[in-house]
Structure 1
Amino acid sequence: MDITLIIAIATMGGLGFIFAGALAFADKKLRVEENPKIAEVNEVLPNANCGACGNAGCYDFAVKVVNGEAKINGCPVGGQEVVDEIARILGMESSQSVKLVARILCNGGLAEAKFKEGVEYIGPESCAVKTVVAGGEKLCLYGCLGGGDCVEACQFGAIFMNENGLPVVVEELCTGCGQCVEACPRGVIEIHPEDRELFVFCKNHDDPKRSKEVCKVACISCGICARKSDGSIVMKDFLPEIDYSKLDISKIPFDKCSTKAIRFVHPEKAAEILKEEKIEVKAN
């Protein structure tokens, strides 16, 4: 064998041995021992890596929880069971997990929204594409586009499109992860506590005349709800905005809203709440 080749092989082998030894020494001397509780917490997390907790993933959340940088009830996907398990691992008292759900704040479906005359959209049905290509078929530039991007984004099968071309949330399956919110280019989906019932089901910021022209159920910015709400509702850019910290349901003039844009999510719950508050509301 050529002496040059032998020297080259010996040199490379020797260097490999030296570098391996150096890495082993560095690993031993510089290693930062990880708190074993991080792995335990990560194990009980749903590992959806959806980002609902505001962190890069479940492992990142586990690190912050163990280090005291995040609350033990910060994972909306895991629910109360995960909160209890994390509390057990960390030797803490468990806290209440608030269930979050997605709310679709637009009522302008195929039957309510008005469409552009003489315009036929031919192309991808994705909302992300429609909003770029002429803003879709509807005259309203703020409402649901009906492409179902939110359905595709949901990892838990908690959203489907109904016959009226609007998304519907299956609350029992919704984890409040917020993926549907990110997928919606119109911002008509928001994440709220499950027990929050009152919303303005419209995102239209057009003036009253224009809003009537584009959708039958759009808020027409009359401002009655704001004037009667004792400060819990203010008008911003032609649309009511609710301050839930000040909300007094008894002050809201539901019967005065001609398009029923401001209402409860669940009519059956609304009836109970209004009865308790001794509020009379005219039938729709």
Structure 2
Amino acid sequence: MLKEMLLASGVMGGLGIIFAAGLAWAAGKFSVDSDPKVELLSSLLPGANCGSCGCSGCSGYAEALVAGTVSVDACNVCDAEAKQEICSILGVEASELGKRQVAKVRCRGDYSLARWVARYEGAQDCRAASMVGSSPKGCREGCLGLGTCTTVCTFGAITLGEDHLPVVDEEKCTGCGACAAACPRHVIAIMDYDAPLVVRCNSHGRGRPVRENCQVGCLGCRACVKACEQDAITMVYNLAVVDLTKCIGCGACAEKCPSGCIEMSQIGEKKEILTA
């Protein structure tokens, strides 16, 4: 009995040694030499694996950086210090780095300021609500207030306010764009952190139909266009669009806006709300 047990143990041990040797040989034979820069860059990346860079994850992004197929600016999550180190490793000029960007909410139409035409009782998800035949909100381009953007933010930078509109903590926001991609109505836009103003409306309607559905919507009246001496504002399908390369943040457009949908980021003041 003991002899059979020792024999079986010897056979199993011998097979284990043979298989281990085979695996070691295969690992050496088929190994791929990795660029040390990839590992170094991976250690500098945040490890969020959010995909905003267009790669499968941070390790994939590191490989793409070394291959030269993506730019250092592609990662919005990296802080300035990490990007500086990455530039040094890659031999890229740090001056080529762009500005920090964050998410901005382009809607002020909450439950009290916007008209709601139906009661939605389905899944508490904006994407699900947007698929319903008739929109629960009078403005078909406004925020639905169900908080899908808050669930996809891995950085805890978005919360729903008491008015059921998303509130972005710009100090936490990395500008990864996950919230903007998840918003079915494209209410959230990724903009420069230091943008002097934000057009807090996403509607392309005009005049009376807009006012009937929202007290703070852009009326397409062109008052802001006329007020801007820098020619920084144009109307695109009845919605004010600001060229931030021309805007000097004087606030003339916000003062003339009759509905108060243009909001200055420096002072955060809001115009008097129109009554229907």
- TM-score > 0.5, shorter chain as reference: yes
2:200 corresponds in structure 1 to 201
- Output aligned runs, 1:96-175, within 5 Å: 98-116=99-117, 119-175=118-174
SS at match of 2:74: coil
Deviates more, 1:91-100 or 1:236-245: 91-100
> In the comparison of the two structures, how many residue pairs are matched?
252
Percent of aligned positions that are identical: 36
- CA distance, structure 1, for counterparts of residue 179 and residue 119 of structure 2: 27
Q: Label 1:251 to 1:112 Cα distance change in 2 as closer, same or farther (>3 A).
A: closer
> How far off its partner does 1:150 sit?
0.1
TM-score by length of 1: 0.79
SS at match of 2:42: helix
Contact 1:77 1:175 in 2 (8 A): yes
1:235 corresponds in structure 2 to 235
Q: Label 1:137 to 1:77 Cα distance change in 2 as closer, same or farther (>3 A).
A: same
- CA distance, structure 2, for counterparts of residue 52 and residue 166 of structure 1: 24
Q: Deviations over 1:189-225 (max 9, x none)?
A: 0111211121211011112110000000001110111
Letter in 1 for 2:164: G
1:256 corresponds in structure 2 to 256
- CA distance, structure 2, for counterparts of residue 210 and residue 253 of structure 1: 22
- CA distance, structure 1, for counterparts of residue 135 and residue 70 of structure 2: 41
- CA distance, structure 1, for counterparts of residue 182 and residue 142 of structure 2: 14
Contact 1:79 1:97 in 2 (8 A): no
Letter in 2 for 1:231: D
- CA distance, structure 1, for counterparts of residue 253 and residue 206 of structure 2: 21
- CA distance, structure 1, for counterparts of residue 173 and residue 87 of structure 2: 24
- CA distance, structure 2, for counterparts of residue 137 and residue 283 of structure 1: 26
- CA distance, structure 2, for counterparts of residue 101 and residue 282 of structure 1: 24
- CA distance, structure 2, for counterparts of residue 65 and residue 167 of structure 1: 34
Contact 1:76 1:97 in 2 (8 A): no
Q: Label 1:115 to 1:142 Cα distance change in 2 as closer, same or farther (>3 A).
A: same
2:9 corresponds in structure 1 to none
SS at match of 1:253: helix
Letter in 2 for 1:129: A
RMSD: 2.9
Letter in 1 for 2:33: E
1:53 corresponds in structure 2 to 53
> How far off its partner does 1:134 sit?
3.5
Q: Deviations over 1:100-137 (max 9, x none)?
A: 21101100011211111xx3322212101111113542
